[in-house]
Homo-oligomer: A and B are copies of this chain.
């Protein structure tokens, strides 16, 4: 028996999740999940991107349903939501997701991922210091990347 693909695993998890919640297994929900898991593992997409992609493929899905479904995917641990600056929310696959943080180029807005164990140490220290659990974190580094095709795309971040 062949290794199940990430998408197959994701579908199984989603099915269990929907059952447990008593939520319906609609084709729209599965198609959003599928679309997300057809992306590269580390690719980020926003609601409008998913909407256009799916419409172009002939699906008749609404933005509202995509918003709803993405919430379910986040709840079920199948998607991760990011808010890089103030604008649109970006989503990426959460399965086989080893936690990572992001570097965003001020100029070309390109997003690159990294992970540093020292961040875990910081969280542990602050957990003690603040007598607080640490459920999650968000770290974004901003800088000007030196990639040769780096070109300014729009506004500069404010912080």
A-side residues, CB < 8 A to B, are: 71, 74, 80-83, 85-86, 89, 103, 105-106, 112, 114, 116, 118-119, 121-123, 125-127, 129-147, 157-159
Contacts and interface: CB of A to CB of B under 8 A. Distances in A.
Contacts of A119: 118-119, 122
A108 to B, nearest CB: 11
A78 to B, nearest CB: 13
Given A139-B139, A141-B126, A105 B132 contact: yes
B122 A146 contact: no
B159 A132 contact: no
A137 B140 contact: yes
A159 B127 contact: no
Contacts of A141: 123, 126, 134, 136-137
A137 B135 contact: no
